[in-house]
Structure 1
């Protein structure tokens, strides 16, 4: 299975230092650093990814 990675719309432009990409995997959703695509990935289930996105949208993970 070939993974089609897409950059998060919240990552900003190409010079942004905090860029992530997501891709659909056979096991769920992959999350990786777009600046280091060969550096590994976080593999989470679709349910876990939906929960993560929900927490991000709620601002529960904001650093500021």
Structure 2
């Protein structure tokens, strides 16, 4: 399975932002389950949003 450069960039950005939002939620509410849940949801949302934007504007 070979990835293109923009797919790797999208995934990297999604993971970094998911980690950021997960840590933010974990520090505010002090709950590890919420931190994991927010991290996974943020990764999925950012990945789909960036994929949609790049597909729409043909980057």
Q: What's the TM-score once normalised by structure 1's chain length? A: 0.31
Structure with the largest fraction of helix = 2
Q: Which has the higher contact order (CA 8 A, sep 6+)?
A: 2
Bigger CA radius of gyration: 2
Q: What's the TM-score once normalised by structure 2's chain length? A: 0.32
